[in-house]
Each structure stands twice: as C-alpha cells, then as structure tokens.
Copies of this chain bind each other. A is one copy, B any other.
Amino acid sequence: MRAKIDKIDIQLIKLLSKNSRLTYKELAERLNTTRQRISRRMEKLEKMGVIKKYTVIPDFDRLGYVYVILGITLKPGVQIEPVIEKLKKEDDVKIIERAIGAHSIVIHLVVPKDMKGIERKINELSTKIDGIDKMDITFITDIVKFDIL
C-alpha cells in the first residue's frame, strides 16, 4: 500500500520548490516542527519518489547552451516503452516526459550552441526512433517564470 501524503508534506514540497537549499532548521521553523521531523519527512518523500530530484534552474544561454524542447507524436499503434528506453540512452536527452495529448513524448535537449550540431542531433534522433509521426521543435530563448508549485 502507498504511504499517505499529508498537508504538511505538500507545504514542505512547496517550500522546497521555491528554494531547495533551505536547511532543515529553516524548514522546521517555517513549518513549526523540529529538524528531525523535517529530515524524516524528506527522507520518506524521497524514498516514495514523491520528491524526484533537488535541482537548479540555470540560464542556459549564459552557460553557452541551447535548450530545445521536442514534442514527439508517435504513429497510431506504436508502443511507447521501447521508444523511451532508446531515448534514455541518449546523453543529450536531458528530460523525458511521457504524455498524452498533442504529443506522446516530450523530450528536452540541452546542447552546446552550435546550430549545425543541433540539426545533426535532431536528425539523428528522428532516424534512430521508429514510429515518429510528427516532431515539434521549440527553442527556448528565455525562462521568464519558474515557480513549479
């Protein structure tokens, strides 16, 4: 059975989504509890996979990278799992999301600023993966807002 997620868990994740570097002490103060309890909750949420990662949102452009989102639509009847397994092996594919709707898989590439290299990479991906019906390519030029929860 799945462990329950309570209101305090959600408050905790919201605080961490605004600043994942808050210390146990700071989190405990804001949630009126103890550091030990915060640390235990976070460990639980990590183990459950409710917290998937603590990360950083950088300015890709300033770091010399291009951030590209590829929205992939598979042909009807194509199995999604083998496609995802293939994509997982690609180093430049940084984020993989299963989806329904306009796209069945959304992948995010973070690659050095080299437009010919990017073209090659995208062509390579689209030939490697069978069953692609359509691929929408979007180059992110700026992250204006990022406030996940």
A interface residues (Cβ-Cβ under 8 A, vs B): 5, 10, 13, 16-21, 48-59, 62-65, 68-69, 71, 84, 87-88, 93-103, 106, 108, 110, 136-149
Contact = CB atoms under 8 A, between A and B. Distances in A.
A148 B97 contact: no
- From DSSP, what is the main secondary structure of chain A's interface residues? strand
30 contacts: A5-B62, A5-B64, A16-B56, A18-B53, A19-B53, A19-B54, A20-B56, A48-B62, A49-B62, A50-B58, A50-B59, A52-B58, A52-B143, A52-B146, A53-B146, A54-B56, A63-B149, A71-B71, A71-B138, A84-B144, A88-B145, A94-B147, A96-B145, A97-B143, A97-B144, A100-B138, A100-B139, A103-B136, A106-B140, A110-B149
Nearest to A90: B145
This chain's copy number in the assembly: 2
Contacts of A139: 99-101
Contacts of A5: 62-64
Given A94-B148, A97-B142, A98-B140, A51 B55 contact: no
B54 A21 contact: yes
B52 A55 contact: no
Contact of A57 (B53, B71, B102): B53
Q: For the complex of A and B, list the 5 residue pairs with the smallest distance between their C-beta atoms, beginning with the closest.
A: A102-B136, A96-B145, A96-B144, A101-B138, A20-B54
